[in-house]
């Protein structure tokens, strides 16, 4: 008996479950239902149900018992089965059944059949093949079925796969046979049913769909979409080419280009990431083309390039001066009703496929853990007990309770409201964003809740979003710190904000938390989703988020260096003092200096030049002020409480 070289590319897979080997064009070459059983033993030659392929066997004793629908074609009745028995003195041990394989030019052959076994029936099935009409047989594998039950079970299926064996192509002498052995009684048997011979031709198969990328600003990068490519079984490399304006990669975060060269063995449900990078305006539409030898496949892709938005806030300066200038620009939004907020999310917070862009469950590099329909999964009047049951309105700004007129529009400000899984949102509400150094709970998608250690002593309760949305959250907070800067000191003094806020700070926000937000802003840049959302909010409520429009503004206003070097974090603290109507400075040399005093609305209240150590504040009403002092080319920022 010949033996097969293990390095040969003939692969036999014997499984208890039917598994797809690779995607391709599959057709059935032959099928035996064994439902036309004779009154006596089965003949030595049995035609398949179509009458075109022949099965032969060498058993001296066969029966036909009740069959099964397992491994049968759709709609097939259970019928009968092919049932070889041990025979007199178990003479059928070593007997076989064989199939004359129709000629094929390429592809993979798969033989499969359902089996059940009596306790004394055959215990092994040995798979063999012949390339010369049965003169020589090559052994593949011995399949042990000794533990299989005497009942029909879905897992009791033998599958034998023959792939890339040159001798099986265009060869009328290629045969497959199965040798049975191990029966211990003359009546011991195996029932074999629904024997199927299939041919799977390798093909390029694309799974998934690319939706319209919609509007992307010229020379900007869109959010990602992806699809799956299957090419296993093909021999040549797969060349993938994207149309003008689109880039592709097998890595979610890098390696994007106009074309890819992939080895076909890599392409087993390989995720291909696509992004839209228009260099000009107008509609971009075409096909991503996949070629492997003479085989090809395409998937449509489209998007629209638009002119960049010309945002000019006409502001200058840094730090608090710039913040107050921006405050005056954006302190114009009109309040929205709850209905308007829900409708806005259902219309504007949508993924490419029309599902809700849930800030807790939608990841750009993977399939979402769950998908919400904007209408049917709206959680406005729902209750939830676990993730994935509906989406709600997640208020990112952690004000602990409604405070009447002092709340301003913070609860109805669309810049601060995101759709999010109801269950996760309920756990994150009124928590500050931060790194969960000690994690207490993790959502299905990876959002974490825990504590953040600050300055080695203070533990702040925080929620940590997944990386894809850390920048979104940071920019929402930058907006809130700017839009509501005149309200935040009041909220802080009334103890309406969580422990991440420090009422002695000029922003009332712990510097470590601010620093973390700055890192998130840097590491997760403004996305297409944020740009489109920001435009929609501007049309709806009349103001825009400047840190989405011009991301560099965040560095000018909130950079850690600015806050560390310029801000005295104590009200009326070291370096100066208040006495009556005078602000006294530690200026031993009595050098001249200039000063500017701003209120919390960013308005310049007073300015001047002084030679001495004091500034007159008698004309100021009670409240909080920011005093800028310039001395020897350096600037100091003081928070003055009067």
pLDDT in tens, 154-175: 999 999 999 768 889 899 999 9
Mean pLDDT across 514-534 = 94
Q: How many CA atoms lie within 13 A of 207 on its CB side?
A: 12
Q: CB burial class (10 A; 0-12, 13-18, 19+) of residue 99? A: buried
CA angle 289/292/295 to nearest 5° reads 80
- pLDDT on residue 2: 34
Mean pLDDT across 513-522 = 92
Written in H, E and C, the secondary structure of 64-116 is CCECCCCCCCCCCCCCECEEEECCHHHCCCCCEEEEECCCCCCCEEEEEEEEE
Q: In whole angstroms, what is the distance from residue 159 CA to residue 345 CA?
A: 50
Q: In whole angstroms, what is the distance from residue 41 CA to residue 84 CA?
A: 9
Judged by average pLDDT, the poorest of 199-203, 260-264, 330-334, 483-487 is 199-203
Q: CB burial class (10 A; 0-12, 13-18, 19+) of residue 17? A: exposed
Cβ atoms of residues 553 and 546 within 8 Å: yes
Q: Where are the alpha helices (DSSP H) in 393-510?
A: 422-428, 470-483, 488-493
Q: In whole angstroms, what is the distance from residue 132 CA to residue 400 CA?
A: 83
Mean pLDDT across 378-406 = 82
Judged by average pLDDT, the poorest of 389-398, 406-415, 440-449 is 406-415
Between these two residues, 125 and 566, which has the higher pLDDT value?
125
Answer yes or no: is pLDDT of 51 > 90: yes
Please report which confidence band the pLDDT of residue 568 belongs to, taking 50, 70 and 90 as the band edges: very low
Domains observed in the chain: 2-202 (2.60.120.260), 205-306 (2.60.40.10), 319-563 (no CATH), 576-641 (2.60.40)
Residues 6+ positions from 497 with CB-CB distance below 8 Å: 398, 399, 400, 488, 491, 508
- pLDDT on residue 53: 96
Q: Around Cβ 382, how many Cβ atoms within 10 Å?
A: 12
Mean pLDDT across 320-333 = 90
Q: How many CA atoms lie within 13 A of 269 on its CB side?
A: 4
Please report which confidence band the pLDDT of residue 511 belongs to, taking 50, 70 and 90 as the band edges: confident
Counting residues of the chain whose pLDDT is more than 70, the rounded percentage is 89
- pLDDT on residue 392: 93
Answer yes or no: is pLDDT of 336 > 80: yes
- pLDDT on residue 166: 80
Cβ atoms of residues 421 and 388 within 8 Å: yes
**Residue 88 phi, psi (nearest 5):** -55, 125
Q: Strands across the sheet with 432-433, in order?
A: 432-433, 458-464, 448-454, 438-442
Answer yes or no: is pLDDT of 259 > 70: yes
Q: In this structure, what token pair is assigned to residue 470?
A: 């850390």
Q: In whole angstroms, what is the distance from residue 154 CA to residue 150 CA?
A: 13
DSSP 8-state code for residue 528:
H
pLDDT in tens, 592-625: 788 888 776 556 788 888 877 888 888 888 777 7
Strand partners, 114: 157, 193
- pLDDT on residue 244: 97
What is the chain's mean pLDDT, rounded?
A: 86
Q: In this structure, what token pair is assigned to residue 218?
A: 């010229």
Q: In this structure, what token pair is assigned to residue 337?
A: 């009703």
Judged by average pLDDT, the poorest of 237-246, 255-264, 267-276, 612-621 is 612-621
First to last CA, the chain: 102
Largest alpha-carbon pair distance within the chain?
A: 123
- pLDDT on residue 422: 93
User: Residues 316, 317, 323, 328: what is their CA dihedral angle, to the nearest 10 degrees?
Assistant: -40
CA-only gyration radius of the chain, Å? 37
Answer yes or no: is pLDDT of 569 > 60: no
Answer yes or no: is pLDDT of 236 > 80: yes
Please report which confidence band the pLDDT of residue 562 belongs to, taking 50, 70 and 90 as the band edges: very low
Per-position b or e across 571-597, b if 16+ CB within 10 A of its CB: beeeebeeeeeebebebeeeeebebbb
Q: Residue written as tokens 């991301």?
A: 551
Q: Residue written as tokens 């405050």?
A: 327
Give the closest residue to 331 by CA, choosing from 492, 541, 553, 503: 541
Q: In whole angstroms, what is the distance from residue 124 CA to residue 255 CA?
A: 51
C-alpha of 178 from chain center: 46
Q: In this structure, what token pair is assigned to residue 240?
A: 């993938």
- pLDDT on residue 6: 30
Q: Residue written as tokens 């000018």?
A: 556
Between these two residues, 586 and 273, which has the higher pLDDT value?
273
Judged by average pLDDT, the poorest of 337-341, 462-466, 470-474, 624-628 is 624-628
Mean pLDDT across 468-493 = 91
Judged by average pLDDT, the poorest of 26-40, 284-298, 309-323, 372-386 is 309-323
């Amino acid at each position: 008996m010949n033996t097969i070289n293990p390095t040969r590319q003939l692969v036999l897979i014997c499984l208890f479950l039917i598994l797809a080997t690779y995607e391709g064009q599959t057709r059935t070459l032959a099928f035996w239902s064994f439902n036309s059983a004779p009154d006596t033993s089965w003949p030595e030659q049995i035609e398949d149900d179509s009458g075109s392929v022949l099965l032969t066997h060498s058993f001296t004793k066969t029966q036909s018992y009740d069959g099964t629908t397992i491994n049968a074609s759709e709609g097939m009745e259970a019928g009968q089965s092919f049932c070889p028995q041990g025979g007199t003195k178990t003479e059928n041990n070593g007997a076989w059944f064989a199939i004359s394989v129709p000629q094929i030019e390429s592809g993979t052959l798969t033989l499969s059949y359902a089996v059940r076994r009596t306790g004394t029936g055959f215990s092994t099935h040995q798979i063999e093949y012949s390339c010369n009409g049965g003169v020589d047989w090559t052994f593949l594998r011995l399949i042990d079925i000794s533990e299989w039950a005497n009942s029909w079970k879905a897992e009791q299926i033998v599958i034998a796969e023959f792939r890339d064996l040159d001798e099986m192509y265009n060869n009328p002498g290629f045969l497959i046979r199965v040798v049975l052995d191990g029966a211990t009684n003359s009546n011991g048997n195996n029932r074999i049913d629904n024997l199927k011979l299939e041919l799977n031709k390798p093909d390029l198969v694309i799974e998934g769909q690319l939706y319209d990328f919609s509007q992307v600003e010229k020379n900007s990068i869109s959010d990602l979409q992806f699809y799956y490519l299957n090419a296993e079984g093909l021999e040549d490399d797969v060349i993938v080419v994207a149309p003008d304006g689109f880039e592709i990669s097998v890595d979610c975060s890098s390696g994007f280009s106009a074309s890819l060269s992939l080895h076909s063995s890599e392409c087993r449900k390989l995720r291909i990431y696509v992004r839209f990078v228009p260099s000009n305006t107008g509609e971009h539409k075409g096909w991503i083309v996949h070629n492997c030898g003479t085989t090809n496949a395409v998937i449509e892709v489209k998007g629209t390039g638009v002119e960049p938005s010309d945002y000019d806030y006409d502001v200058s300066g840094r730090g608090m001066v710039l913040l107050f200038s921006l405050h005056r620009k954006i302190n114009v939004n009109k309040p929205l009703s709850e209905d308007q907020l829900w409708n806005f999310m259902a219309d504007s917070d949508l993924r490419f496929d029309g599902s809700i862009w849930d800030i807790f469950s939608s990841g750009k590099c993977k399939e979402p853990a769950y998908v919400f329909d904007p209408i049917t999964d709206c959680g406005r009047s729902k209750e939830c007990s676990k993730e994935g049951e509906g989406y709600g309105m997640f208020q990112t700004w952690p004000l602990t309770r409604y405070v009447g007129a002092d709340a301003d529009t913070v609860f109805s400000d669309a810049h601060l409201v995101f759709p999010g899984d109801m269950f996760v949102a309920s756990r994150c509400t009124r928590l500050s964003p931060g790194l969960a150094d000690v994690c207490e709970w993790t959502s299905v998608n990876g959002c974490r809740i825990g504590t953040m250690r600050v300055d080695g002593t203070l533990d702040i309760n925080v929620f940590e979003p997944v990386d894809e949305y850390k920048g979104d959250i940071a920019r929402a907070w930058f907006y809130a710190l700017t839009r509501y800067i005149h309200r935040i000191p009041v909220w802080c003094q009334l103890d309406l904000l969580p422990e991440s806020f420090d009422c002695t700070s000029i922003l009332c926000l712990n510097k470590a938390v601010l620093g973390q937000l700055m890192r998130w802003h840097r590491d997760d840049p403004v996305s297409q989703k944020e740009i489109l959302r920001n435009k929609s909010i501007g049309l709806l409520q009349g103001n825009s988020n400047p840190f989405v429009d011009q991301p560099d503004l965040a560095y000018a206003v909130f950079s850690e260096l600015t806050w560390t070097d310029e801000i005295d974090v104590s009200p009326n603290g070291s370096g100066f003092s208040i006495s009556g109507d005078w602000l006294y400075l530690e200026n031993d040399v009595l050098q001249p200096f200039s000063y500017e005093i701003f209120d919390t609305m960013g308005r310049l209240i007073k300015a001047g030049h002084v030679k001495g150590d004091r500034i007159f504040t008698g004309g100021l009403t009670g409240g909080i002020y920011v005093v800028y002092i310039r001395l020897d080319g350096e600037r100091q920022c003081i928070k003055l409480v009067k």
